Structure 1
Amino acid sequence: MASRDLAVGVVCLSQTVVGLMGNFSLLYHYLFLYFTGCRPRSTDLIVEHLIIANFLSLLSKGVPQTMEAFGLTLFLNDIGCKLVFYVHRVGRGVSISTTCLLSVFQVITISPRNSRWGELKEKAPRYTGFAIFLCWVPYMLVNIIFLMYITGKWGNTNSTMKKDLGYCSGVKQNKIVLSLHAALLSIPDMFCVGLMLWASNSMVCVLFRHKQQVQHIHRNDLSPRSSPESRATHSILVLVSMFVSSYMLSCIFQVCIGLSDNPNILLANISALLNAYFPTACPFILMSRVSREPRLCFAWIKITKSPKLIINM
C-alpha cells in the first residue's frame, strides 16, 4: 500500500469516527432532554433530522472511502453501490435543506413581533413536521438518477463504458445528458443555498438593529451577556457559512469529476473529505450552543400513594 493511500485512509477514518461520535453525542443530548421532560423548542426536531442526515452522509461515504483507501476496492456489488451513492446523496441533500430550514426558523424566532415575520412566530412551530417532510421528499426523488448509472466494479457492464469512481463505477453518459442530470440535481441545492444566504443576511440585520436599540441599556454594564436567541443565531450563522463554503468547494470538485471520463484519484479523495467536513464539524458547533443554554426540565413523576400511607399521614 502506498504511503499516500495510507495517509488518506487514516484521515478518512479519523474524520468518520470523530463525526459519528459527535453526532451520536448530540443525538444523546436531545434524547436525554426528551426523556427527562424538558420543554422542546421548535428547532429541536429540525436539528434531530439534521443529525440523521449527517449519520447517513458519514456512513455511506466515509466508511466506503476509508475501505477503498486501505486497498479494499471490490467489496460492493451493483446493488450495494447504488444504495451507497443514493443514501449519500439523500443525506447530503437533507443536510442542505435542514440547515436552510434551521436558518429560516431562527430568522422567524428573533424577528420582532411588529415585523412582517412577526405573524409567523405562533404559526411556524405547527408546520415544522410538514417542512421537514419537504426536506426529504425532493432529494429522495431527484437522486433516483444515481440508481440508473452507478454500478459495481465487478458487474456485467462493459469496462469501456464505465467510469472509475473508486470503490464503484459509473456508466459513461453523453455530455448533454450529464449536463441535464447535473442541472436537475442542482435545482434544490441552489434554492436552499440562496434561501440560507438570504436568511443569514436577515439574521445579521435583525441582530444589528437589536444591538442599536439596546445599546444604551448595556452602556454601564461592564460584562454584558448576549441573550440565548443571539447566541443561537451566532451559532447558526457559523453553521451556514461553514456549510456554504464547503458546499461550493465540493461542487467544484464534483463538477471536475463528473466531466472527466477518468477522474483523478486525488480529486476523488479531496471531494470525499470535503463532503464529510460539514457532517463532522456540525454537531460540535451545535453542542457549543446547547452547552451554554441550560433548559428548565420538568420530569413528570407519577407518585402513587397506597391507602395505608394515606391513613398514616
Structure 2
Amino acid sequence: MAATGVAIGVIFLVQMVVGVLGNFSLLCHYLFLHLTGCKLRFTDWIMQHLVVANLLTLLCNGLQQIMGAFGLKNFLDDLGCKLLVYLHRVGRNVIMNSTSFLSVFQVITISPKSSRWTNLRLKSPSFIASCVSLSWILSFTINIAFPMDLTSRWSHRNITSLKGFGSKSLDMFHAVLLTGTDVMFMKLILCSSGYLISILYRHNQRMKHIHRNNSPPRSSPESKATKTILLLVSTFLCFYTRSCLFQVNLALMYNPDEFMVNLSALSSVFGGFPVVSPFLIMSLGSRSDIRK
C-alpha cells in the first residue's frame, strides 16, 4: 500500500474518531441536562438536530473513505453501500438546514421589539420546530435518487469510482432540485448572519454610549448566544466555501490525479465542519445561560 494512501487513511480515521467523540459527548451533555430537569434554550434543541446530523455524516462518510484509503475489503453489499451514500447525503442537508435555522431563529429572538416582530417571536418556537422536522423529511425525500442512480459498486477504490458519491450520474432535474435547496438555505444563512451582525453592532454602540462614564458593559446572555451562533455559522461558511472550491476544481480537471481526488475527499462534508462544530458549541456555550 502506498504511503500516501496510509496517510490519507490515518487522517480520515483521526477526523472521524475526534468528530464522533465530540458530537457524542455533546449529545450526552444535552441528554443529561434533559434528565436533570434543566430548561434548555430553543437554539439548543436545534443544535441537537445538528449533532445527530454530524454523527450521521461522519459515520457514513468516514467508513467509506477509511476503507477505501486503506484498501480494505468491502464487507457491505450493494444495498449497504447505497444506504451509506444515502444517509450521508441526508445528514449533509440537515447540517445546512439546521445551521440556517439557528441563525434565523436568533434573528427573530434578538430583533427590536416592534409590533411586526412581536407576533413572529411568540410563534417562532413552534414554527422553527416544524421547519426542523420537515427538513429531515425533505432531506430523506430529495436524496432518494442517490441510491437509485448509483450504479458503481463500492470497491476498495471507492474514492475514485464513487467520485462525488455518484453525483455525476444524477439527472438534470434532480441536480437542479438539490442545487436549488442549497442555494435557498445559503441565502437564509447569509441574510440572517448579516442582520445579526448589524444588530450586534448597533447594540454595542448603544451600550458604549450608556456606559461611557461607568464600568465596562457586560454582555447579556442574548448577546453571548448571538456571538456563539455567528461564530458557528461563520465556521460553516468557511468550510462550505472551501469544500465547494475543491469540488469545482476536481470537476473541471479532465483527468485528476490521486492526490487531488484524496484532497477533495478530505474537504467533503463541508470540509470538517461536523468535526469542529461540537467543540465550538462546548467551548462557547455557557451553563449560566441554561435555566432550571
Letter in 2 for 1:250: S
Corresponding residue of 2:184: 191
CA distance in 2, matches of 1:253, 1:148: 26
Corresponding residue of 1:105: 105
Shift of 1:220: 3.4
Matched residues, number? 288
Describe the shift of the 1:22–1:7 C-alpha distance in structure 2 as closer, same or farther (beyond 3 A).
same
Gapped regions of structure 2 (runs ≥ 5)? none
Over the matched positions of the two proteins, sequence identity in percent amounts to 47
Describe the shift of the 1:290–1:154 C-alpha distance in structure 2 as closer, same or farther (beyond 3 A).
closer
SS at match of 1:166: helix
Describe the shift of the 1:167–1:81 C-alpha distance in structure 2 as closer, same or farther (beyond 3 A).
farther
2:131 is equivalent to residue 143 of structure 1: no
Shift of 1:179: 4.7
* 2:237 maps to which of 234, 239, 244: 244
Over alpha carbons, which structure has the higher Rg?
1
Shift of 1:62: 1.3
Whether the aligned pair in 1 keeps the contact of 2:26 and 2:282 (CA below 8 Å) is: yes
Corresponding residue of 2:38: 38
2:285 is equivalent to residue 285 of structure 1: no
Whether the aligned pair in 1 keeps the contact of 2:61 and 2:88 (CA below 8 Å) is: yes
Corresponding residue of 2:90: 90
Residue range with higher mean Cα deviation, 106-115 or 92-101: 106-115
Shift of 1:240: 1.2
CA distance in 1, matches of 2:63, 2:120: 41
CA distance in 1, matches of 2:169, 2:61: 27
Written as runs of structure 1 = structure 2, the 5 A alignment for 1:294-309 is 294-297=289-292
CA distance in 2, matches of 1:267, 1:35: 47
Describe the shift of the 1:174–1:37 C-alpha distance in structure 2 as closer, same or farther (beyond 3 A).
closer
CA RMSD of aligned residues (A): 2.7
Whether the aligned pair in 2 keeps the contact of 1:151 and 1:170 (CA below 8 Å) is: no
CA distance in 1, matches of 2:123, 2:89: 31
Corresponding residue of 1:308: none
Corresponding residue of 2:49: 49
CA distance in 1, matches of 2:265, 2:21: 19
CA distance in 2, matches of 1:247, 1:271: 12
CA distance in 1, matches of 2:167, 2:227: 45
Shift of 1:115: 6.2
Whether the aligned pair in 2 keeps the contact of 1:74 and 1:153 (CA below 8 Å) is: no
CA distance in 1, matches of 2:66, 2:167: 31
Whether the aligned pair in 1 keeps the contact of 2:150 and 2:169 (CA below 8 Å) is: no
Written as runs of structure 1 = structure 2, the 5 A alignment for 1:7-26 is 7-26=7-26
SS at match of 1:153: coil
CA distance in 1, matches of 2:158, 2:73: 10
Describe the shift of the 1:255–1:3 C-alpha distance in structure 2 as closer, same or farther (beyond 3 A).
same
Shift of 1:169: 4.1
Whether the aligned pair in 2 keeps the contact of 1:46 and 1:102 (CA below 8 Å) is: yes
Corresponding residue of 1:68: 68
Describe the shift of the 1:260–1:184 C-alpha distance in structure 2 as closer, same or farther (beyond 3 A).
farther
* 1:235 maps to which of 204, 228, 231: 228
CA distance in 1, matches of 2:73, 2:255: 16
2:244 is equivalent to residue 213 of structure 1: no
| Cα deviations by residue, 1:275-294 (Å, 9 ceiling, x for unpaired) | 34000001111112223644
CA distance in 2, matches of 1:150, 1:260: 22
Gapped regions of structure 1 (runs ≥ 5)? 156-163, 298-313
CA distance in 2, matches of 1:139, 1:223: 46
Shift of 1:233: 1.1
Shift of 1:270: 2.3
| Cα deviations by residue, 1:231-269 (Å, 9 ceiling, x for unpaired) | 111111111121122212222333455577865433332
Q: TM-score, normalised by structure 2?
A: 0.88
